[in-house]
């Protein structure tokens, strides 16, 4: 149990048939986030989940709401930029990802607009989740919102995909070994403009969307418009840890991973190592 500002959060496993009905039933919850929040009938239900059992978790959660006769006014589902087939960290031809996640899909067309059609080149667990929410809300006369952030930075426990964590570990290891913080990719990606999403920004956007009548049944991108490039960010991170940094070596040998899809997504990842 955790109480913050008079609101009590109670965690539960939504993959459990027994817990899902027991914990969902009772007084009308105010907010959910993989947990139950007991409060007033002003409702937001927010569910942020990741592979590999995402569809089962969401289906169980929606079934639990039905079994417990709980009908939220608005349902918030947070997915992400992979709605657009997003795979590389960059939008250019040569790009880089600090992890090996989804490298082969390639960059997308920009600007990414909420009205863009689905990218069905490969299975995407976001789409079945969205369809499940659409259908449940239709049957129960509830509203929905979908938030689609980019790479998320924030102090969140157990968030293995948070880019800040591997960067912090990498910098710490470099400091321990007395080595400079070496950038893993090429000069093109080092200098190219990027964007990210902060956990706080996402929270503000999602709260606004579920509490705004005119935002009902709409999807929203979530992106911090303060664009950055690793060229300036990389030295700053190294400075936080009191270590030197190394810029991309123009003569280095890179592993090249070419996107199998052309036209979009398309592109090529050039890297010497990955963090995960």
Sequence ranges of the domains in the chain: 73-271
Return the CATH number of the domain spanning residue range 73-271. 3.40.50.720
pLDDT exceeds cutoff 80 at 161: no
| 172-183 pLDDT tens trace | 999 999 999 999
| 41-54 pLDDT tens trace | 333 444 444 445 77
Predicted TM-score (pTM) of this structure: 0.72
Q: 209-247 burial string, b = 16+ CB within 10 Å, else e?
A: bbeeeebeeebbbbbbeeeeebbeebeebbeeeebebee
CA dihedral sign, ordered 117, 209, 154, 222: positive
Q: What is the pLDDT at residue 57?
A: 87
Mean pLDDT of all residues in the chain? Answer: 77
pLDDT exceeds cutoff 90 at 239: yes
Average pLDDT over residues 85-113: 56
Query: What is the DSSP secondary structure assignment for residue 183, as one 8-state letter?
Result: -
| 117-138 pLDDT tens trace | 998 877 888 999 999 999 999 9
Q: What is the pLDDT at residue 124?
A: 85
Q: What is the pLDDT at residue 49?
A: 46
Give residues with Cβ within 8 angstroms of 50, minimum separation 6: 161
Q: What is the pLDDT at residue 85?
A: 77
């Amino acid at each position: 149990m955790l109480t913050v500002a008079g609101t009590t959060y109670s965690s539960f496993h939504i993959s459990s048939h027994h817990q899902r009905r027991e914990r969902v039933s009772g007084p009308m919850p105010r907010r959910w986030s993989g947990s139950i929040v007991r409060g007033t009938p002003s409702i937001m239900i927010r569910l942020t989940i990741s592979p590999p059992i995402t569809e089962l978790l969401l289906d169980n959660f929606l079934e639990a709401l039905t079994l417990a006769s709980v009908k939220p006014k608005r349902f918030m589902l947070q997915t992400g930029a992979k709605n657009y087939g997003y795979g590389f960290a960059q939008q250019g031809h040569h790009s880089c990802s600090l992890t090996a996640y989804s490298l082969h899909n390639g960059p997308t067309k920009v600007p990414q607009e909420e009205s863009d059609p689905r990218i069905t080149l490969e299975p995407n667990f976001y789409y079945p989740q969205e369809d499940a929410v659409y259908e449940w809300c239709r049957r129960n006369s509830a509203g929905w919102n979908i938030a689609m952030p980019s790479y998320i930075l924030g102090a969140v426990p157990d968030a293995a995909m948070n880019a800040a964590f591997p960067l912090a570990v990498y910098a710490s290891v470099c400091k321990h070994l007395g080595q400079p913080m070496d950038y893993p990719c090429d000069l093109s990606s080092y200098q190219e403009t990027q964007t990210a999403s902060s956990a706080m920004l996402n929270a503000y956007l999602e709260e606004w969307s579920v509490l705004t009548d005119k935002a009902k049944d709409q999807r929203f991108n979530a992106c911090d418009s303060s664009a950055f490039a690793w060229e300036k960010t990389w030295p700053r991170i190294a400075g936080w840890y009191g270590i030197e940094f190394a810029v991309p070596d123009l003569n280095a040998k890179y592993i090249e991973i070419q996107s199998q899809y052309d036209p979009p997504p398309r592109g090529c990842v050039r890297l010497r190592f990955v963090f995960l």
